[in-house]
Structure 1
Amino acid sequence: MRIGINGLYLSTPYSGIGQYTINLLRALSEIDHKNKYFIFTNAKIEFEFPANFRIIRIDPIPLFPKSFLSRFIWEEYQLGNAIKKYKLDIFHGLYQSLPRGVEKIGSIVTIHDAIPWRFPAERKQLAYRWYSDIRKSLLTKRAKKVVSISETTKMDLAPIYGMKPETIEVTYEPVDDIFFTQPTQKEIIECRKKFELPQKYILYSGGLKRHKNLRILIKSFSILSKTYKYPGHLLILGAVRNTMAVSKAIYYKPEDLMTYAKLMKVGDKVHIVGFVSRSEMSTLLHQSEAFISLSLYEGFGLPALEAVTAGVPSVLSKIGAFEEVIKGAGIYVYPYGAHRIAEKLNSVLNDKNVQTELKHQAKMRAAFFDQYAIAQRVLEIYQEVYDDCVTSFEP
């Protein structure tokens, strides 16, 4: 098969979809040396793949750069032309987008969440509302197979896209092997020096979007510091993406978060670190005392799974995706009750029995998300969709 893949998010490797793209492609490249892959990007990408994988850069037209219009033209028309040029049999959109021309070949799309429709403020920007609406409309007409990354996402997507839940396939996100491995002493020293790490800290990763509930996180940390006398700091990883069209209204501004931290009297203990590499992320996680995410919605929750894989005790908001993916490897809290959250955090930080049990559960849960098994199922979906396209069902 000649398989085309939208690799746009390879240019944003620190994003959730970026990590999904990287982890899936790496696993596919290790298990499939037969089919030919054409990975389409809009920028120069430095990745090493075997000979049957080809990265093809298609520069966006120089019209309104980093706008939703420019992005739509690239996804719709420029990728559509690539389908013909490279004579593709299969096209896989790794996020909710499929170009024109996929109607004549096998088409698969992975949808990660229903955030734009669960949070109306996400679609406040007119350009993004237009873009997300037209993408949804075209996708429902073009996709021969829809994949979601969790049962939670599947049930959210079905009514929004007008699909029957049983027609949506669930394949979980693979997790990077790097989180299974303890960092070396050299990596620890370099990481601590680079980020000027305190001796003790709690870590959050997952970006700065508003549904991540970061003000409540800072408030809870303030209570933990003042009421429970926690001596450590809070590290917040993430920044506003600037490599593609995004609606900046959906993000917290780092300076606003720091202003709030100062208001809560913990400005000297809260650090917004920005984007980090995979290696740095693994080291930061392994060195942390606990991981916390109070997100109001997740399609999957990869940062939480990465923390669990690293064996870090995790406090998570009680939402569907976290409970589905992490199960008994996390402690769950109502994401608005700052005092209760601080109490749970304090328990996790000081109760050795809780830490031991969480680490035991985490080891078993992380093993479930084997990247090669997940990639194998994706490969099977490619074959199934291809077979459906080439088989004649005429009586």
Structure 2
Amino acid sequence: MKNTLVERLNSKRAVIGIVGLGYVGLPLLLRYVDVGYHVIGFDIDQSKIDALRQGRTYIEHIPSAQIQAAASGNLEVTTDFSRAKEADALIICVPTPLNRYREPDLSFVLGTVDALIPHLRPGQVLSLESTTYPGTTEEELLPRIESRGLTVGQEVFLVFSPEREDPGNTDFSTRTIPKICGGHTAACLDVGMALYGAAIDTVVPVSSTRAAELTKLLENIHRAVNIGLVNEMKIVADRMNIDIHEVISAAATKPFGFVPYYPGPGLGGHCIPIDPFYLTWKAREYGLHTRFIELAGEINSSMPDYVIEKVIGALNQVKRSVRGSKILVLGIAYKKNVDDMRESPSVVLMEKLRALGAEVAYSDPHVPVFPKMREHSFDLRSVDLSASEIGRYDCVLVATDHDRFDYDQIRKCAKVVVDTRGRYRQAAGNLVKA
């Protein structure tokens, strides 16, 4: 069974099923179509299926022309999960958020697997790409597959291969970012390597699904901890009247032993604010308290409150209180030059300002209308940044520093600017650094 599946994958006669067509699944789908596979895309969101069938993109950095080119090839998209039996490979790319108690929420993964299980058959490989704690693949997916009466490693194959997408990063693509792959058995790993080897330039094998799961967490915890460090350094530097961005730039001239990280108003994106909590939760099962990781999480989580205090101080300079003030938030995507709103600290800032009685508006060239979100609600559209419009607000808060903003005009026309991203190097006049 293994050799037959590997041969189908290598010869590109296999049908690839991508389950979850968001920021991870859609680029992967397009890549498999591009290299010549027949691909079936699955999603529960009918609006995404409709858009893809019409050749329209719903992710800014993926052009509609790329969707149209794929649609003219071997691509089908559907909400019908019964078609999973047609696929030789099923790759799951669904969210793994936290619940209200900051604990792992696997409902999207388990709901997806439960929808696929009735349609599994011998000769398939199932790969999970969603970031999760070590043991998820073995503890949650394996028994569900075995409940179908299928032997993993002989009849069907199970792997974990964590996504490494970086939306908007033009230096790396789905093809060029090395792929980690761990199998439940040696045969599973062989199939996983064949699955990804045809679409990704470099596939890196590891000894188990658990090792692959922990690899992804380490990558993002590494970033979270270092961002927590530099956020704390920002607060110290600010109290000492030192520009932390000048310090980072100077330190980065050292050709060894230093990697620059940059402070901000909090953590955003679907990985860094969430993934550390997956490990800290699982570590408690082993009687461990991950103090270092949790401390970094506390610092990063506190940054929106630090920014709010800076906004309050900035408004005091112009003899205004927060209540009743008009505040314009620049940039509501979680990082610059993308439309990705997941876990954006800008939204947290907007909610805190609204709770304090401010009248909040936003401008973001990448997000023309505030989207529907699971936990946040604003009935707002992006405002155009004319000189007169900027001057209407008591405070302009630079939350995400998109390149398309005219920063000279903003500083010239604003009553006061609060900069959380170090876009302005001189804190003077109407500028407050946060």
Q: Which has the higher contact order (CA 8 A, sep 6+)?
A: 1
Structure number with higher helix proportion: 1
- Normalised by the length of structure 1, the TM-score is 0.35
- Normalised by the length of structure 2, the TM-score is 0.33
